[in-house]
Structure 1
Amino acid sequence: MEVSQEKAKQEIDRSLNLSFFCMRYIGFSFDEPKHRIARLLQRLWFFASIVVICSHGFSEIAFIVVTFANSPRVEDVVPLFHTLGYGILSVSKVFVLWYKKRVFKQLLSELTVIWPIAPLDDEAYSIKNQSLKALRLVHRWYFAINLSGVWFYNMTPMGIYLYQIVRGEDARLGFIWASWYPFDKTHPITHVFLYVFEILAGQNCVWVMICTDLLFSGMASHIVLLLRILQGQLKSLSVSAYTEDQCYHNIINCIKLHQRLIRYCKDIGEAFSFANLVNIILSSVNICCVVFVIVLLEPMVAISNKLFLGSALIQIGILCWYGEDIIHANANIAAAAYASDWYNMSPRCRRALYFLLQRAQKPISFTAMNFTNISLVTYTGILTRSYSYFALLYTLYSEN
C-alpha cells in the first residue's frame, strides 16, 4: 500500500512539476524544509516576494491616482489598468496559496490514495496516458507564453532606448511599468535600482500566476481523469461476467469513488473560490484595456501587449475549460450507469446503481464564491463584457 501511494505521489508530482518549480522561486513549498535554517530562509524569501508584489501594486495605484488627477483623459488612464489588474490578481492568488496551504497539501495527499496505479486495463491506461500527455502540453505552453510575455515587457524599455539611439534621437532609458515613487527616480543609481526592482516585481507576479493556475488546472484535470476511468468501470459491468455479489461489490466501489471525487471537487472549488471570483471580475477589465492599447495606442510595445492579451485569454480560458470539463465528465457518469447491463442485474444491484445514477444527474462544478459556476458559458460572458467595455472606451476616445 505504501509503495503504491509513493508511486502515485511521484506521478502526481511529475504532472505538477512546473507549478512546483514556480513556487520555489517565490519561496513557497508544500513540503517543509528539514533544517531550521532552510525553513527560515524559505519564509524570508516568501515574505520578500510578497513585499515586492504588494509594493509594486501600491506604486501602480498611486501612479493611476496621480495621472487621473492631472489628466483624466481616456488615453492616459486606460493603458495603466491591465497591468494593475494583473498585479491585483497575483496578490489575491498568493494570499490564497498561503492561506490554504494546508488544504492544498491535504488534497494532494488524498489524491495519492485514489490515483490509478498499474496494473490497469487497456482503456484506463489509455485514458490516463492521454490525460497526462495533454496536461503536460498545456502546462508547457502556458509556462512559455507567460514567461516570454513578462520578459518582452522587461526588455521593451531597452529596445526603445536602442531604437532611439539608432535614429539619432534624444534617447532615455525608461521604466518597465507605470509606477509612482515618493523620491526622484531619474538619478542613474536610483534608476538602475528601480529597474531591477520592477523586473523582480513583474517576474514574481508571473511566478505566482503560473504556479496557482497550473496547480488548479492539474488538480482539475486529475478529477476528470478519474471520472473518465470510473465511467469505463461502469460500462464494463455490461460486458463482464460477474456473480451477483461481485457485481454489487463493484457498484458499491464505484459509488464510493464517485462520492469521494464529488467531495474532492468541492474542496478544490472552495480553496480556489476567492481567487476565481477576483479572476472573473478582473479578466474583462484586463482584456478590454489591453485591446484598447493594442488597437489605438502605444505601437512601440505592441508585441508585449499582444503577449499579455494572449496570456490573459489563455489564463481565464483554462479556468473555464476545466470547469466545463468537470461538468461534462460528471454528467457522463450518469450516462455510463444507464448504459450498463442494469436490466439483467438483481434488484439489489439495480437499487445501488439507481442511487449512483441519481447523484450523477446533479451537476458538480467550480464556483466563484457561489456567485457563478465556472464554465465556457462564463468565458463567453467575459469576452462579451470585454467587448462592451471596449466599445464604450472607444466611443469616449473618439469623442475626445
Structure 2
Amino acid sequence: MEESTMKAAKQEIERSLKIVLFSMQRIGFSFDKPKNAAAYLLQKIILVVSVCGICLHVFSELAYILFTFASSPSIEDVVPLFHTFGYGALSVAKIFAFWYKKSVFGELVDELAGIWPMPPLSDDAQEFKDKSLTALRISHRWYFGVNIMGVWFYNLTPIITYFYRIWQDQDAVIGFVWASWYPFDKHQPIAHIACYLFEMYAGVACVWIMVSSDLLFSGMASHIALLLRILQWRLESFASTEKTDDENYEEIRSNIQLHQRLISYCNRLEEAFSLVNLINIVMSSINICCVVFVIVLLEPVLAISNKLFLASILIQVGAMCWYADDILHANGNISAAVYNSGWYKTSPRCRRSLLFIILRSQKPIAFTAMKFTNISLKTYSSILTRSYSYFALLYTMYSEK
C-alpha cells in the first residue's frame, strides 16, 4: 500500500474512533506523539492526576464497605455499595492495562491501516464498509451518551435531592456523590466542597476510562468483522469471470495473505484485551445483580441514575460479546464462501490452494477471557443468568429478614 493511501486509511480509521481518541485525551493517553515538551508534560500530568484520582476513589469506597461490614452487615446497607465500587475497580484495572499496552494499541491502529479497504472498491464491498461504519458510529454515540448522562445524574442527585427536600419543607443537607470514607471529617464546609468536587471528578474520570477501553475494543473488532466479510465476498465471487490459471492463483494467494494478516491481527487484539475481558466477565454479573437489587427494592430516589448505570453495563458487556461473536461467525463463514465460489472451474493447483483457506477458517478466531473461555453471545446469556441467580439469592435473604 502506498504511503498516501496508508495515511488516508489511518485518517479514516481515526475518524471511526473519534469518540475513543477524545476520551483517551481526557485521561492523558494518545496514539500520536506530543508536538512539543509542553504538550508532553500536560499529557503526563493529566495521566498522573487521573490514575491517582480513581485509585483514591476506589480505596475510599473499599474502606467504606469494610467499615460498613464491621458495623452493620445487613443486606440493604452493603449491597448498594458494590456496583459503584465494582465500576471503579474495573476502571482502575482498565487504565493500568491501557497504560501497559498503550504502544500495542498504537501499533494495532497502524497495522489495521495496512489492510484497510480503500477505493476503488466494488459496490458490494463499499456497501459493507458504509453500513459497518454507520452502525459503529451509532453504537459508539449511544454508549458514550448513556455513560455521560449516567455519571452526571449521579453527580447532581445530591443537589437535586437537597432542593427537593427544601421544597417539601423537610430538613435538607447536601450529601455526597458516592459512599466513601475519608480520614477526616468530610462534613465540615470546606472539606464537604472539596470531597464533593473530588467525587465528581473521580466519577467522570472512571467514565472516560471505560469509554476509551470499551469503544476501542468494539471499534477494532468491528473493523476486523468488516474485513472478514469483504474477504468472504471476494471468495464468493472468485472465478466468476474468465481468467487465466495464473491470475486465479494470484487472486487466491492474495486472499490467503489477507486472511493470515487478519488472523494475526485478531490474535494480537485478543492478547491486548484478554485481561480486561476477564475482569469484565467476572465483575459484570455482580454489578448487574447489585444495581437491579437497588433499583427494585431500595432506592427509588436514585432510580434514574441506577437505571442508566444498568443500561451502561448491559451495553458494555453486550457489545463485547456481540463483536466477539460477530468475528467468530464471520471467520466461520469463510469456508462456506469458498465452497460457494467457482472453484470447480479452476485448475487442481488452485483447488489445493483453496483448501488452505477452508482448513484455517475452520479453526475459530475467538476472543477469550485469559484463555478461560471463548467470548460470544452465549457468554452474555451466561452473565445474565448468573446475575438473576445472585439477585434471587439476595431477594430471598432480604425477604426473610
Normalising by structure 1, what TM-score?
Answer: 0.99
Task: Check conservation: 2:132, 2:222, Cα contact below 8 A.
Answer: yes
Q: CA deviation at 1:34?
A: 2.1
Once the 2 structures are TM-superposed, how far is the Cα of residue 236 of structure 1 from its aligned partner? 1.1
For 1:123-272, list aligned pairs within 5 A: 123-272=124-273
2:329 aligned partner, one-letter code: H
Which residue in 2 is equivalent to 1:52? 53
Is 1:348 matched with 2:349? Answer: yes
Once the two structures are superposed, the pairs formed by residues 300-339 of structure 1 within 5 Å of their partners are 300-339=301-340
Deviations 1:134-174 (A, max 9, x none): 00000011100010000000010011101100010110000
1:32 is displaced (CA, Å) by 1.6
Distance 1:112 1:380 in 2: 34
Decide whether the 8 Å contact of 2:277 with 2:368 is kept in 1.
yes
Whole-angstrom distance in 1 between the partners of 2:354 and 2:39:
52
- Size of the aligned set, in residue pairs, is 400
Distance 2:158 2:243 in 1: 70
Paired with 1:115 and 1:355, the residues of 2 have a C-alpha distance of 23
Residue identity (%): 62
CA positional deviation for 1:31: 1.1
Structure 1 residue 259, shift from structure 2 partner: 0.6
Which letter does structure 1 place at the counterpart of 2:232?
Q
1:73 alignment partner in structure 2: 74
Amino acid at match of 1:179: S
- Paired position in structure 1 for 2:19: 18
Helix, strand or coil for the counterpart of 1:350?
Answer: helix
The CA deviation at 1:238 is 3.6
| Deviations 1:57-95 (CA, angstroms, capped at 9, x unpaired) | 000000000001000001100000000000011111111
SS at match of 1:237: coil
Deviation at 1:43, TM superposition (A): 0.6
Aligned residues of 2:50 and 2:205 also touching (Cα < 8 A): yes
Q: Which SS does the other structure have where 2:386 is aligned?
A: helix
Question: What per-residue deviation string (whole Å, max 9, x for no partner) do you get for residues 159-203 of structure 1?
Answer: 110110001011000000000001001111111111100000000
The 1-side partners of 2:33 and 2:195 are apart by 33
1:241 offset after TM fit, Å?
A: 1.7
What amino acid sits opposite 2:371 in the alignment? Answer: N
CA distance in structure 1 between the partners assigned to 2:356 and 2:136 by the alignment: 32
- Aligned letter for 1:387? Y
Matches of 2:236 and 2:244 in 1, distance apart? 16
Query: What runs of 5+ residues in structure 2 fail to find an aligned partner?
Result: none
Task: Tell me the C-alpha RMSD between the 2 structures.
Answer: 0.6
Please say if residues 239 and 346 of structure 2, whose CA atoms lie closer than 8 Å, have aligned partners that are also in contact.
no
Which portions of structure 1, spanning 4 or more consecutive aligned residues, are displaced by more than 6 angstroms?
none
State the Cα deviation string for residues 96-130 of structure 1 (Å, max 9, x = none): 11000111111100111100110001111110001
Query: Any idea what SS the aligned residue of 2:185 has?
Result: coil
Amino acid at match of 1:357: I
Equivalent residue for 1:2? 3
| Alignment partners' CA distance in 2, 1:242 and 1:375 | 40
- Unpaired segments ≥5 residues, structure 1: none
What are the equivalent positions in structure 2 for 1:361-380 lying under 5 Å apart? 361-380=362-381
Report the alpha carbon displacement of residue 344 of structure 1 after superposing the two structures with TM.
1.8
